[in-house]
Amino acid sequence: MNLTISGHHLEVTPALREYVLTKLDRVTRHFDQVVDVSVLLTVEKLKEKERRQKAEVTLHVKGRDIFVEQSHEDLYAAIDQLMDKLDRQVVRHKDRLQDHHHATTKRSMMLDAEAP
């Protein structure tokens, strides 16, 4: 898994990098076919103070790219909310990949009748 953590108008400290890594462990525990992860942490110069800190993740899994973004006044809270969103999307993607089709009862009864 390739991991890129970058900051825009912000220096990514080792503590911030470690926090993102521990939060990403939860997502990779659900789904191990992650190819590439790109995390962008941004501080925007907005007048609205509650939406200044922004975190974005692009997760490249087999067959699809999942993009999630979240804004908050605290960067750590934005990362927490972001990982919750990402976790839900990864679980939903994993459910879609699994085969949920079952043989119809009519067909299975016909197969049982043909058996000697």
Q: What is the pLDDT of residues 64-90, one digit of tens each?
A: 899 999 998 899 999 999 999 999 998
pTM comes to: 0.77
- The continuous run of DSSP H or E covering 32 comes out as none
Tokens representing 71? 């804004």
Do 58 and 67 contact (CB within 8 A), yes or no? yes
pLDDT value at residue 99: 66
Whether the predicted pLDDT of 39 surpasses 80? yes
